[in-house]
Structure 1
Protein backbone atom coordinates (compact mmCIF):
# COMPACT_ATOMS: atom_id res chain seq x y z
CA UNK A 1 0.00 0.00 0.00
CA UNK A 2 2.92 2.38 0.58
CA UNK A 3 3.60 2.25 -3.16
CA UNK A 4 0.02 3.30 -3.81
CA UNK A 5 0.11 6.37 -1.56
CA UNK A 6 2.10 8.57 -3.98
CA UNK A 7 -0.29 7.58 -6.76
CA UNK A 8 -3.21 8.44 -4.50
CA UNK A 9 -1.73 11.84 -3.66
CA UNK A 10 -0.95 12.55 -7.31
CA UNK A 11 -4.49 11.71 -8.35
CA UNK A 12 -5.90 13.99 -5.66
CA UNK A 13 -3.69 16.89 -6.75
CA UNK A 14 -4.65 16.40 -10.38
CA UNK A 15 -8.31 16.35 -9.45
CA UNK A 16 -8.06 19.71 -7.70
CA UNK A 17 -5.88 21.29 -10.37
CA UNK A 18 -8.06 20.39 -13.39
CA UNK A 19 -11.70 21.16 -12.58
CA UNK A 20 -12.62 21.40 -16.25
CA UNK A 21 -12.26 17.63 -16.59
CA UNK A 22 -13.84 16.72 -13.26
CA UNK A 23 -16.33 14.27 -14.78
CA UNK A 24 -13.67 12.26 -16.59
CA UNK A 25 -11.33 12.30 -13.60
CA UNK A 26 -14.13 11.16 -11.31
CA UNK A 27 -14.59 8.07 -13.49
CA UNK A 28 -10.84 7.43 -13.43
CA UNK A 29 -10.87 7.82 -9.65
CA UNK A 30 -13.65 5.27 -9.26
CA UNK A 31 -11.81 2.85 -11.53
CA UNK A 32 -8.66 3.36 -9.48
CA UNK A 33 -10.55 2.58 -6.27
CA UNK A 34 -11.69 -0.74 -7.71
CA UNK A 35 -8.18 -1.65 -8.84
CA UNK A 36 -6.82 -0.65 -5.43
CA UNK A 37 -9.23 -3.09 -3.80
CA UNK A 38 -8.17 -5.84 -6.19
CA UNK A 39 -4.51 -5.13 -5.34
CA UNK A 40 -5.03 -7.11 -2.14
CA UNK A 41 -6.12 -10.26 -3.94
CA UNK A 42 -3.80 -13.17 -4.65
CA UNK A 43 -4.26 -14.27 -8.26
CA UNK A 44 -2.97 -17.77 -7.49
CA UNK A 45 -5.18 -17.93 -4.40
CA UNK A 46 -8.24 -16.98 -6.46
CA UNK A 47 -7.49 -19.65 -9.07
CA UNK A 48 -6.91 -22.24 -6.33
CA UNK A 49 -10.39 -21.62 -4.91
CA UNK A 50 -11.85 -22.00 -8.42
CA UNK A 51 -10.02 -25.33 -8.72
CA UNK A 52 -11.33 -26.41 -5.31
CA UNK A 53 -14.94 -25.61 -6.20
CA UNK A 54 -14.55 -27.46 -9.49
CA UNK A 55 -13.09 -30.52 -7.75
CA UNK A 56 -15.85 -30.46 -5.14
CA UNK A 57 -18.53 -30.46 -7.81
CA UNK A 58 -16.92 -33.42 -9.56
CA UNK A 59 -16.41 -35.34 -6.31
CA UNK A 60 -20.03 -34.76 -5.30
CA UNK A 61 -20.93 -36.80 -8.36
CA UNK A 62 -18.66 -39.59 -7.13
CA UNK A 63 -16.04 -39.09 -9.85
CA UNK A 64 -12.63 -39.30 -8.19
CA UNK A 65 -10.37 -39.67 -11.24
CA UNK A 66 -11.84 -36.60 -12.93
CA UNK A 67 -11.31 -34.50 -9.78
CA UNK A 68 -7.60 -35.23 -9.39
CA UNK A 69 -6.29 -32.70 -11.99
CA UNK A 70 -8.23 -29.84 -10.35
CA UNK A 71 -6.89 -30.78 -6.91
CA UNK A 72 -3.33 -30.97 -8.21
CA UNK A 73 -3.76 -27.54 -9.79
CA UNK A 74 -5.12 -26.18 -6.50
CA UNK A 75 -2.11 -27.53 -4.61
CA UNK A 76 0.36 -26.00 -7.07
CA UNK A 77 -1.37 -22.62 -7.03
CA UNK A 78 -1.58 -22.53 -3.25
CA UNK A 79 2.14 -23.29 -3.05
CA UNK A 80 2.82 -20.39 -5.41
CA UNK A 81 0.44 -18.15 -3.46
CA UNK A 82 2.30 -18.65 -0.18
CA UNK A 83 5.12 -16.48 -1.55
CA UNK A 84 2.73 -13.69 -2.60
CA UNK A 85 3.14 -10.21 -1.13
CA UNK A 86 -0.60 -10.13 -0.39
CA UNK A 87 -0.39 -12.55 2.54
CA UNK A 88 -0.17 -11.19 6.08
CA UNK A 89 -0.06 -12.50 9.62
CA UNK A 90 -2.76 -12.04 12.24
CA UNK A 91 -4.67 -13.88 14.96
CA UNK A 92 -8.19 -14.81 13.97
CA UNK A 93 -9.46 -13.04 17.08
CA UNK A 94 -8.16 -9.79 15.57
CA UNK A 95 -10.13 -10.27 12.36
CA UNK A 96 -13.53 -8.62 12.19
CA UNK A 97 -15.83 -10.82 10.15
CA UNK A 98 -17.96 -8.86 7.68
CA UNK A 99 -21.63 -8.88 8.78
CA UNK A 100 -22.66 -9.62 5.19
CA UNK A 101 -20.78 -12.94 5.41
CA UNK A 102 -21.16 -14.40 8.93
CA UNK A 103 -19.03 -17.42 9.78
CA UNK A 104 -20.75 -20.78 9.15
CA UNK A 105 -21.67 -22.98 12.11
CA UNK A 106 -19.08 -25.49 10.86
CA UNK A 107 -16.25 -22.94 11.04
CA UNK A 108 -13.33 -23.95 13.28
CA UNK A 109 -11.33 -20.96 14.46
CA UNK A 110 -7.54 -21.17 14.27
CA UNK A 111 -5.50 -20.18 17.30
CA UNK A 112 -2.44 -17.97 17.50
CA UNK A 113 -0.80 -15.84 14.84
CA UNK A 114 -1.21 -17.42 11.41
CA UNK A 115 -0.63 -16.39 7.80
CA UNK A 116 -3.74 -15.35 5.87
CA UNK A 117 -4.15 -15.19 2.11
CA UNK A 118 -6.83 -13.12 0.31
CA UNK A 119 -8.31 -15.75 -2.00
CA UNK A 120 -11.39 -13.90 -3.20
CA UNK A 121 -13.49 -10.78 -3.02
CA UNK A 122 -17.07 -9.65 -3.29
CA UNK A 123 -18.86 -6.35 -3.78
CA UNK A 124 -21.77 -5.65 -1.44
CA UNK A 125 -24.48 -3.44 -2.94
CA UNK A 126 -26.30 -0.91 -0.79
CA UNK A 127 -30.09 -0.85 -0.72
CA UNK A 128 -30.08 2.61 -2.30
CA UNK A 129 -28.61 1.43 -5.60
CA UNK A 130 -30.65 1.66 -8.76
CA UNK A 131 -31.65 -1.68 -10.39
CA UNK A 132 -29.03 -1.32 -13.13
CA UNK A 133 -26.36 -0.67 -10.50
CA UNK A 134 -27.37 -3.76 -8.52
CA UNK A 135 -27.19 -5.74 -11.74
CA UNK A 136 -23.68 -4.36 -12.33
CA UNK A 137 -22.62 -5.48 -8.84
CA UNK A 138 -23.91 -8.99 -9.53
CA UNK A 139 -22.05 -9.07 -12.85
CA UNK A 140 -18.83 -7.80 -11.27
CA UNK A 141 -19.02 -10.48 -8.57
CA UNK A 142 -19.47 -13.16 -11.22
CA UNK A 143 -16.42 -11.80 -13.06
CA UNK A 144 -14.42 -11.84 -9.83
CA UNK A 145 -15.28 -15.49 -9.25
CA UNK A 146 -13.77 -16.19 -12.66
CA UNK A 147 -10.65 -14.23 -11.72
CA UNK A 148 -11.36 -11.48 -14.27
CA UNK A 149 -10.55 -8.42 -12.15
CA UNK A 150 -10.11 -6.09 -15.13
CA UNK A 151 -13.64 -6.70 -16.36
CA UNK A 152 -15.00 -6.42 -12.82
CA UNK A 153 -13.36 -3.02 -12.39
CA UNK A 154 -14.83 -1.88 -15.69
CA UNK A 155 -18.29 -3.13 -14.71
CA UNK A 156 -18.14 -1.33 -11.34
CA UNK A 157 -17.64 2.07 -12.99
CA UNK A 158 -21.41 2.55 -13.12
CA UNK A 159 -21.70 1.90 -9.38
CA UNK A 160 -18.99 4.21 -8.04
CA UNK A 161 -18.61 4.47 -4.28
CA UNK A 162 -22.01 3.00 -3.45
CA UNK A 163 -20.72 -0.51 -2.81
CA UNK A 164 -18.42 -2.03 -0.21
CA UNK A 165 -15.71 -4.55 -1.06
CA UNK A 166 -15.03 -7.47 1.25
CA UNK A 167 -12.16 -9.93 1.06
CA UNK A 168 -12.16 -13.68 1.63
CA UNK A 169 -9.18 -14.67 3.77
CA UNK A 170 -7.94 -18.25 4.04
CA UNK A 171 -5.63 -19.38 6.87
CA UNK A 172 -2.83 -20.77 4.71
CA UNK A 173 -1.57 -23.78 6.72
CA UNK A 174 -5.00 -25.23 7.68
CA UNK A 175 -6.36 -24.45 4.22
CA UNK A 176 -3.48 -26.27 2.51
CA UNK A 177 -3.74 -29.16 4.96
CA UNK A 178 -7.40 -29.69 4.15
CA UNK A 179 -6.71 -29.63 0.41
CA UNK A 180 -3.88 -32.14 0.84
CA UNK A 181 -6.21 -34.47 2.78
CA UNK A 182 -8.85 -34.12 0.09
CA UNK A 183 -6.27 -35.10 -2.50
CA UNK A 184 -5.25 -38.21 -0.54
CA UNK A 185 -8.90 -39.24 -0.14
CA UNK A 186 -9.51 -38.67 -3.83
CA UNK A 187 -6.49 -40.74 -4.85
CA UNK A 188 -7.79 -43.47 -2.51
CA UNK A 189 -11.22 -43.39 -4.22
CA UNK A 190 -13.07 -41.94 -1.20
CA UNK A 191 -15.11 -39.08 -2.69
CA UNK A 192 -17.29 -38.39 0.34
CA UNK A 193 -14.31 -37.93 2.67
CA UNK A 194 -12.67 -35.77 0.02
CA UNK A 195 -15.74 -33.52 -0.16
CA UNK A 196 -15.75 -33.20 3.63
CA UNK A 197 -12.10 -32.13 3.57
CA UNK A 198 -12.82 -29.53 0.89
CA UNK A 199 -15.78 -28.24 2.91
CA UNK A 200 -13.46 -27.89 5.89
CA UNK A 201 -11.12 -25.76 3.78
CA UNK A 202 -13.92 -23.56 2.47
CA UNK A 203 -15.46 -23.19 5.94
CA UNK A 204 -12.14 -21.88 7.27
CA UNK A 205 -12.42 -18.74 5.11
CA UNK A 206 -13.20 -15.47 6.90
CA UNK A 207 -14.67 -12.47 5.06
CA UNK A 208 -13.44 -9.05 6.22
CA UNK A 209 -13.72 -5.49 4.93
CA UNK A 210 -11.15 -4.19 2.48
CA UNK A 211 -10.47 -1.29 4.85
CA UNK A 212 -9.47 -3.74 7.58
CA UNK A 213 -6.86 -5.41 5.37
CA UNK A 214 -5.61 -2.00 4.19
CA UNK A 215 -4.86 -0.93 7.76
CA UNK A 216 -3.52 -4.27 8.94
CA UNK A 217 -1.28 -5.39 6.06
CA UNK A 218 1.21 -2.46 6.14
CA UNK A 219 1.74 -2.96 9.88
CA UNK A 220 2.56 -6.63 9.32
CA UNK A 221 4.91 -5.77 6.47
CA UNK A 222 6.81 -3.43 8.77
CA UNK A 223 7.18 -6.14 11.42
CA UNK A 224 8.51 -8.59 8.86
Structure 2
Protein backbone atom coordinates (compact mmCIF):
# COMPACT_ATOMS: atom_id res chain seq x y z
CA UNK A 1 0.00 0.00 0.00
CA UNK A 2 2.94 2.35 0.67
CA UNK A 3 4.07 1.89 -2.94
CA UNK A 4 0.63 2.82 -4.32
CA UNK A 5 0.38 5.79 -1.95
CA UNK A 6 3.75 7.10 -3.14
CA UNK A 7 2.73 6.72 -6.75
CA UNK A 8 -0.59 8.44 -6.07
CA UNK A 9 1.32 11.44 -4.73
CA UNK A 10 3.58 11.52 -7.76
CA UNK A 11 0.82 11.30 -10.35
CA UNK A 12 -0.77 14.47 -9.05
CA UNK A 13 2.20 16.62 -9.98
CA UNK A 14 0.94 17.68 -13.39
CA UNK A 15 -2.79 17.51 -12.75
CA UNK A 16 -2.97 21.07 -14.12
CA UNK A 17 -1.46 21.90 -17.55
CA UNK A 18 1.98 23.50 -17.45
CA UNK A 19 1.28 26.14 -20.11
CA UNK A 20 2.35 29.60 -19.02
CA UNK A 21 3.44 28.23 -15.62
CA UNK A 22 6.60 26.87 -17.21
CA UNK A 23 7.88 30.38 -17.91
CA UNK A 24 7.35 31.41 -14.29
CA UNK A 25 9.04 28.22 -13.14
CA UNK A 26 12.20 28.81 -15.18
CA UNK A 27 13.58 31.82 -13.30
CA UNK A 28 13.10 30.64 -9.72
CA UNK A 29 13.70 26.91 -10.12
CA UNK A 30 16.54 26.55 -12.63
CA UNK A 31 19.26 26.15 -10.00
CA UNK A 32 17.32 23.26 -8.45
CA UNK A 33 17.24 21.46 -11.83
CA UNK A 34 13.44 21.28 -11.81
CA UNK A 35 13.09 22.72 -15.30
CA UNK A 36 15.04 19.76 -16.59
CA UNK A 37 13.10 17.40 -14.35
CA UNK A 38 9.70 18.59 -15.52
CA UNK A 39 10.88 18.38 -19.13
CA UNK A 40 11.42 14.68 -18.51
CA UNK A 41 7.92 14.15 -17.19
CA UNK A 42 5.10 13.18 -19.49
CA UNK A 43 1.79 14.78 -18.54
CA UNK A 44 -0.03 12.07 -20.50
CA UNK A 45 2.01 9.45 -18.67
CA UNK A 46 1.12 10.93 -15.31
CA UNK A 47 -2.55 11.07 -16.18
CA UNK A 48 -2.33 7.45 -17.32
CA UNK A 49 -1.17 6.44 -13.86
CA UNK A 50 -3.92 8.52 -12.28
CA UNK A 51 -6.47 6.75 -14.51
CA UNK A 52 -5.05 3.35 -13.56
CA UNK A 53 -5.23 4.14 -9.84
CA UNK A 54 -8.78 5.44 -10.23
CA UNK A 55 -9.92 2.42 -12.25
CA UNK A 56 -8.35 -0.01 -9.78
CA UNK A 57 -10.09 1.64 -6.84
CA UNK A 58 -13.43 1.38 -8.64
CA UNK A 59 -12.80 -2.23 -9.67
CA UNK A 60 -11.84 -3.18 -6.13
CA UNK A 61 -15.33 -1.98 -5.18
CA UNK A 62 -16.79 -4.32 -7.82
CA UNK A 63 -17.98 -1.52 -10.11
CA UNK A 64 -17.03 -2.58 -13.62
CA UNK A 65 -19.19 -0.12 -15.55
CA UNK A 66 -17.72 2.84 -13.67
CA UNK A 67 -14.17 1.67 -14.39
CA UNK A 68 -14.50 1.51 -18.18
CA UNK A 69 -14.12 5.27 -18.90
CA UNK A 70 -10.94 5.48 -16.82
CA UNK A 71 -9.49 2.44 -18.60
CA UNK A 72 -10.28 3.87 -22.03
CA UNK A 73 -8.67 7.17 -21.03
CA UNK A 74 -5.63 5.34 -19.66
CA UNK A 75 -5.12 3.54 -22.97
CA UNK A 76 -5.42 6.72 -25.04
CA UNK A 77 -3.16 8.74 -22.78
CA UNK A 78 -0.51 6.04 -22.67
CA UNK A 79 -0.45 5.98 -26.47
CA UNK A 80 0.09 9.74 -26.46
CA UNK A 81 2.79 9.42 -23.79
CA UNK A 82 4.61 6.95 -26.02
CA UNK A 83 5.14 9.75 -28.55
CA UNK A 84 6.24 12.44 -26.11
CA UNK A 85 9.70 13.59 -25.12
CA UNK A 86 11.28 12.08 -22.05
CA UNK A 87 11.02 8.42 -22.99
CA UNK A 88 14.13 6.30 -23.43
CA UNK A 89 15.09 2.67 -24.06
CA UNK A 90 17.13 0.73 -21.52
CA UNK A 91 17.39 -2.66 -19.89
CA UNK A 92 16.10 -2.58 -16.35
CA UNK A 93 19.44 -3.89 -15.10
CA UNK A 94 21.03 -0.61 -16.23
CA UNK A 95 18.64 1.52 -14.19
CA UNK A 96 19.72 2.88 -10.83
CA UNK A 97 16.70 2.56 -8.51
CA UNK A 98 16.22 5.36 -6.01
CA UNK A 99 16.70 4.01 -2.48
CA UNK A 100 13.91 6.30 -1.25
CA UNK A 101 11.34 4.32 -3.26
CA UNK A 102 12.14 0.59 -3.60
CA UNK A 103 10.22 -1.38 -6.20
CA UNK A 104 7.10 -3.30 -5.24
CA UNK A 105 7.69 -6.70 -3.57
CA UNK A 106 6.04 -8.44 -6.53
CA UNK A 107 8.09 -6.53 -9.12
CA UNK A 108 9.54 -8.67 -11.90
CA UNK A 109 12.50 -7.04 -13.64
CA UNK A 110 12.66 -7.12 -17.44
CA UNK A 111 15.69 -8.86 -18.91
CA UNK A 112 15.70 -7.03 -22.26
CA UNK A 113 15.73 -3.32 -23.23
CA UNK A 114 12.30 -1.70 -23.06
CA UNK A 115 10.86 1.79 -23.54
CA UNK A 116 10.45 3.73 -20.28
CA UNK A 117 8.13 6.69 -19.74
CA UNK A 118 8.47 9.07 -16.78
CA UNK A 119 5.01 9.09 -15.19
CA UNK A 120 5.51 10.89 -11.88
CA UNK A 121 7.95 12.71 -9.66
CA UNK A 122 8.65 13.90 -6.15
CA UNK A 123 11.13 16.23 -4.45
CA UNK A 124 13.01 14.47 -1.65
CA UNK A 125 15.44 15.87 0.91
CA UNK A 126 17.89 14.10 3.18
CA UNK A 127 17.08 13.19 6.78
CA UNK A 128 19.77 15.60 7.96
CA UNK A 129 18.02 18.68 6.56
CA UNK A 130 16.99 21.40 8.98
CA UNK A 131 13.32 21.23 10.05
CA UNK A 132 12.39 24.33 8.06
CA UNK A 133 13.81 22.78 4.88
CA UNK A 134 11.96 19.52 5.46
CA UNK A 135 8.77 21.49 5.97
CA UNK A 136 9.43 23.43 2.76
CA UNK A 137 9.84 20.21 0.76
CA UNK A 138 6.60 18.81 2.17
CA UNK A 139 4.81 22.03 1.27
CA UNK A 140 6.36 22.11 -2.21
CA UNK A 141 5.26 18.54 -2.95
CA UNK A 142 1.72 19.40 -1.87
CA UNK A 143 1.77 22.45 -4.12
CA UNK A 144 3.15 20.42 -7.03
CA UNK A 145 0.46 17.79 -6.56
CA UNK A 146 -2.15 20.55 -6.86
CA UNK A 147 -0.49 21.94 -9.99
CA UNK A 148 0.76 25.09 -8.24
CA UNK A 149 4.19 24.98 -9.84
CA UNK A 150 5.23 28.65 -9.40
CA UNK A 151 4.29 28.51 -5.72
CA UNK A 152 6.31 25.31 -5.29
CA UNK A 153 9.30 26.99 -6.93
CA UNK A 154 8.98 29.84 -4.49
CA UNK A 155 8.78 27.43 -1.56
CA UNK A 156 11.87 25.53 -2.70
CA UNK A 157 14.03 28.64 -2.42
CA UNK A 158 14.29 27.79 1.28
CA UNK A 159 15.78 24.39 0.42
CA UNK A 160 18.29 25.42 -2.24
CA UNK A 161 20.15 22.52 -3.85
CA UNK A 162 19.75 20.22 -0.82
CA UNK A 163 17.12 18.07 -2.51
CA UNK A 164 16.78 15.51 -5.30
CA UNK A 165 14.00 14.92 -7.79
CA UNK A 166 12.82 11.30 -8.06
CA UNK A 167 11.07 10.08 -11.20
CA UNK A 168 8.68 7.15 -11.52
CA UNK A 169 9.26 5.20 -14.75
CA UNK A 170 6.73 2.88 -16.39
CA UNK A 171 7.64 0.32 -19.08
CA UNK A 172 5.51 1.34 -22.07
CA UNK A 173 4.66 -2.01 -23.66
CA UNK A 174 4.14 -3.83 -20.35
CA UNK A 175 1.83 -1.10 -19.08
CA UNK A 176 -0.15 -1.04 -22.32
CA UNK A 177 -0.60 -4.80 -22.14
CA UNK A 178 -1.84 -4.57 -18.55
CA UNK A 179 -4.38 -1.88 -19.48
CA UNK A 180 -5.61 -3.94 -22.42
CA UNK A 181 -6.07 -7.02 -20.24
CA UNK A 182 -7.83 -5.00 -17.58
CA UNK A 183 -10.18 -3.55 -20.18
CA UNK A 184 -11.09 -6.99 -21.53
CA UNK A 185 -11.75 -8.35 -18.03
CA UNK A 186 -13.75 -5.26 -17.10
CA UNK A 187 -15.96 -5.52 -20.18
CA UNK A 188 -16.49 -9.19 -19.28
CA UNK A 189 -17.65 -8.08 -15.81
CA UNK A 190 -14.68 -9.66 -14.04
CA UNK A 191 -13.46 -6.94 -11.66
CA UNK A 192 -11.08 -9.16 -9.69
CA UNK A 193 -9.02 -10.17 -12.73
CA UNK A 194 -9.17 -6.61 -14.11
CA UNK A 195 -7.81 -5.21 -10.85
CA UNK A 196 -5.05 -7.82 -10.83
CA UNK A 197 -4.01 -6.74 -14.34
CA UNK A 198 -3.78 -3.13 -13.22
CA UNK A 199 -1.76 -4.18 -10.19
CA UNK A 200 0.75 -5.71 -12.60
CA UNK A 201 1.05 -2.31 -14.28
CA UNK A 202 1.68 -0.63 -10.92
CA UNK A 203 4.20 -3.30 -9.94
CA UNK A 204 6.19 -2.51 -13.09
CA UNK A 205 7.01 1.01 -11.91
CA UNK A 206 10.66 1.78 -11.12
CA UNK A 207 11.81 4.93 -9.28
CA UNK A 208 15.10 6.56 -10.30
CA UNK A 209 16.82 9.88 -9.74
CA UNK A 210 16.37 12.64 -12.30
CA UNK A 211 20.17 12.83 -12.59
CA UNK A 212 20.19 9.31 -14.00
CA UNK A 213 17.41 9.98 -16.53
CA UNK A 214 19.25 13.09 -17.71
CA UNK A 215 22.11 10.89 -18.97
CA UNK A 216 19.88 8.63 -21.07
CA UNK A 217 19.45 9.31 -24.82
CA UNK A 218 15.81 9.64 -25.95
CA UNK A 219 14.09 6.74 -27.64
CA UNK A 220 14.16 6.83 -31.47
CA UNK A 221 11.17 8.74 -32.78
CA UNK A 222 10.44 10.49 -29.50
CA UNK A 223 9.41 14.12 -29.84
CA UNK A 224 12.25 16.34 -28.73
CA UNK A 225 11.68 19.24 -26.33
CA UNK A 226 11.84 22.69 -27.90
CA UNK A 227 15.19 24.41 -27.63
CA UNK A 228 15.37 27.07 -24.93
CA UNK A 229 15.96 30.61 -26.11
- Fold-level similarity (TM above 0.5): yes
1:65-120 CA distance string (max 9 Å, x none) = 11111111111100101101211111111001111111222001112111110011
What is the number of residues matched between the two proteins? 195
Change in CA separation of 1:146 and 1:88 when aligned onto 2, cut-off 3 Å: farther
Aligned twin of 1:37: 37
| Deviation at residue 135 of structure 1 after TM alignment | 2.8
Partners of 2:202 and 2:148 in 1: how far apart? 21
* TM-score, normalising length: structure 1: 0.79
In structure 2, distance between residues paired with 1:221 and 1:154? 36
Structure 1 89/185 Cα, relative in aligned 2: closer, same or farther at 3 Å? Answer: same
TM-score, normalised with respect to structure 2: 0.77
CA distance 1:178–1:31, change in 2 (3 Å): same
Unaligned runs of 5+ in 1: 1-26
Residue 76 of structure 2 is matched in structure 1 by 76
Is the alpha carbon distance of 1:127 and 1:42 closer, same or farther for their aligned partners in structure 2, counting shifts above 3 Å? same
Alpha-carbon distance between aligned partners in 1 of 2:146 and 2:181, rounded to the nearest angstrom: 25
Cα 1:110–1:59 change in 2 (3 A) is same
Report the secondary structure of 2:166's partner residue: strand
Verify the 8 A CA contact 2:117 2:169 in the aligned structure 1: yes
Secondary structure of residue in 1 paired with 2:127: coil
Pick closer, same or farther for the CA change 1:107–1:158 going to 2, 3 Å.
same
By percentage of residues, which structure has more helix? 1
Alignment gaps of 5+ in structure 2: 1-26, 222-229
State the 1:145 CA deviation. Answer: 4.4
Larger RCO: Structure 1 or Structure 2 (Cα < 8 Å, ≥ 6 residues apart)?
A: 2
